[in-house]
Structure 1
Amino acid sequence: MACEPGEEERVVALAEELDGTIAVLKGRIGEIGDRRLAVMAALTVLDRLHAAEARNAELTARIARLERAREQAALAAEGEDEPLIARIDRVTDAVDRLVHIVSASVRAMDVDAEEEVAPTFARARAPEGRPDNAEPPAAGVGPPAADGESAADPAPADPAFASRTAG
């Protein structure tokens, strides 16, 4: 038999399969003539082909149903995420508001503490006759203090401070 180049192996395999079908029919029915055996083999092969095509159509339909079900599940899952995403957004907004409130409170506490403490430090640092905003003298510069310590010594005469720093 003639065939296209490269199809020789396929044609040989088909001929061997047809020969096998004829051999099975001969074994079951007996010798009934080559023409009748060829027709019965053709009918048997066509029956197999139709069964395979029906199975193929069944599997194709099943694949289509599964793909539709997958698409519907994906759409349903997208819808399920929306409430969760909205809830996460609300929680994030609430946390941002709390951070803003706490930050503002901390800044206000820092300003209040600075306003309370700044005048005390200014009075403790400024020697008599010098304005509070004047620069202190450099370390080791100026007359010695009455208690014998350097005038540049920033330690106040607070006993609690002295006990904390003694060591």
Structure 2
Amino acid sequence: MACDEGQEEHLVRLARDVDARIAQLRTAFGEIGDQRLTVMAAVTIADELSEARARIRALESDLDGQRDARASALARIEASEEVVARTIDEAAERLEKLAREIAPPAPRAIGMG
């Protein structure tokens, strides 16, 4: 089988995995023919791949939900920060107004001459 340069080891590992599957099936079912064992190995590998893809889809969906929840939480935090900042500004304005109201009047300069 041809493969890209540098992929030889990966291809060898895959072939070993398939051989191991066939050996497991041969142990479980006996000598039922290489073609049947190879097809059974292919079907079990395809089943695992299907389950893995379903799990990936579920994890991606969960991740999307987490991203949405995070974005929503950040929006709520930002809105809360704006409310707090506005409240602080309003309180500062009221304090300044009160300070002006209770401060003694500034002494008036008396002109000489």
TM-score range normalised by the length of the shorter chain: 0.7 to 0.9
Structure showing the higher helix proportion among its residues? 2
Which residue number in structure 2 is paired with residue 78 of structure 1?
78
Aligned residues: 110
| Pairs within 5 Å for 1:105-144 | 105=104, 107-108=106-107
Which residue number in structure 1 is paired with residue 39 of structure 2?
39
Q: Displacement of 1:70 after TM fit?
A: 1.2
| Residue identity opposite 1:89 in structure 2 | D
Q: Displacement of 1:106 after TM fit?
A: 6.8
| Pairs within 5 Å for 1:83-94 | 83-94=83-94
| Residue identity opposite 2:51 in structure 1 | A
Q: What is the identity percentage for the equivalent residue pairs of Structure 1 and Structure 2?
A: 35
Structure 1 gap segments, 5+ residues each: 116-167
Q: Displacement of 1:85 after TM fit?
A: 1.6
Distance 1:92 1:51 in 2: 61
Distance 2:105 2:54 in 1: 77
| Residue identity opposite 1:44 in structure 2 | T
Which residue number in structure 2 is paired with residue 25 of structure 1?
25
Match of 2:6, SS state, is: coil
| Residue identity opposite 2:66 in structure 1 | L
Distance 1:24 1:98 in 2: 86
Q: Displacement of 1:72 after TM fit?
A: 1.3
1:97 aligns with 2:100: no
Which residue number in structure 2 is paired with residue 51 of structure 1?
51
Structure 2 gap segments, 5+ residues each: none
Distance 2:5 2:35 in 1: 29
Bigger RCO of structures 1 and 2 (CA < 8 A, at least 6 apart)? 2
| Residue identity opposite 1:32 in structure 2 | I
Kindly name which structure, 1 or 2, has the bigger radius of gyration based on alpha carbons.
1
| Residue identity opposite 1:9 in structure 2 | E
Which residue number in structure 2 is paired with residue 4 of structure 1?
4
Q: Displacement of 1:101 after TM fit?
A: 5.3
Q: Displacement of 1:107 after TM fit?
A: 3.8
Which residue number in structure 1 is paired with residue 62 of structure 2?
62
